[in-house]
Amino acid sequence: MPSHAFVQCDVFTDRAFGGNPLAVFPDGRGIDDATMQKIAREMNLSETVFVLPPGDPGKALRRLRIFTPTTELPMAGHPVVGTWHVLALQGVVPAPASGAGSVTIQQELGVGILPVAIEFAGGAPVRVVMTQPPPRLAERPDLAGAAARALGLDPAEIATAALPLVVASTGVPYLVVPVRGRAALARIAVREADLVNCLDDAKASGLYAVSLETRAPDALASTRMLGPPAIGVAEDPATGSAAGPLAAALVHHGVVRPVDGVARFVIEQGVDMGRPSRIEAEVEGGPGAVRTVRIAGGSVVVIEGELRW
């Protein structure tokens, strides 16, 4: 009977039962593709990660394969942040000799090899920083009506004065839709067929609804990620692969002004699901010239176990 150890953690939070749950299989060797997908469906979380040896050990420390309940993803944010927190706890990435500081390694994802930094305090990981692929942004004002229908909102509640509708990607494309305040964000009632049609037109993997009115006083934006049935995640409590593109768009369009070439701010998500998440964003560059996007956060281990089949 095959068995594999796993760890479940809550990501983009500093306390249990917040953030986005993630299942991590620290040693995914011997699990074939079909079984990985079955396990992800069994775990029934937004994502499940299987950690494998890299294709080239000289270029990356580990390879991460990321699955939703229905499909494999080339990249995702909270799986990277949570997985490297778990691997650091297990000693795959040792803390600096002093017990404090940052260690940067290279990871292999479906989009290629990217750096990730693990920050330690007292010998334990406290924060993981993920560098994402270069951002790509395209304005799509023609999708405002379709987005309103998909979200079950009045067209007047699509608010593009500060931030236009954009298809934005740092590895995975999202339709970023600004809405008029937290009340509109909370009132979203997805119309599935309209959402699928809207995302098909946008050639996007999900819709990231954004309010510049937030609940947390230190957050810049409040968000919700709505996914089509094909990815098996109707709504996600924290989406690093969407927060990165949003962060790029906010700087590119001048909503956030960098200080000394870097903009740092917090994006909140999951509030309307009862799983508040804090995604820290860091963007290098300026309006019209965004260069590098990073997202970061903490994680908390909540379950350790063994899956048998």
- Residues annotated catalytic, as ranges: 47
The three-class DSSP label of residue 63 is strand
What's the CA gap between 5 and 35, in Å, rounded? 15
Is residue 165 a contact partner of residue 204, using CB atoms and an 8 Å limit? no
What's the CA gap between 309 and 307, in Å, rounded? 7
Tokens matching residue 42: 């069994």
Q: How far apart are the first and last CA of the chain?
A: 6
Is residue 46 a contact partner of residue 20, using CB atoms and an 8 Å limit? yes
What's the CA gap between 297 and 240, in Å, rounded? 10
Of 26, 27, 73, 29, the C-alpha closest to 47 is 73
Per the DSSP assignment, residues forming a β-bridge with 208 are 176, 225
What's the CA gap between 11 and 213, in Å, rounded? 23
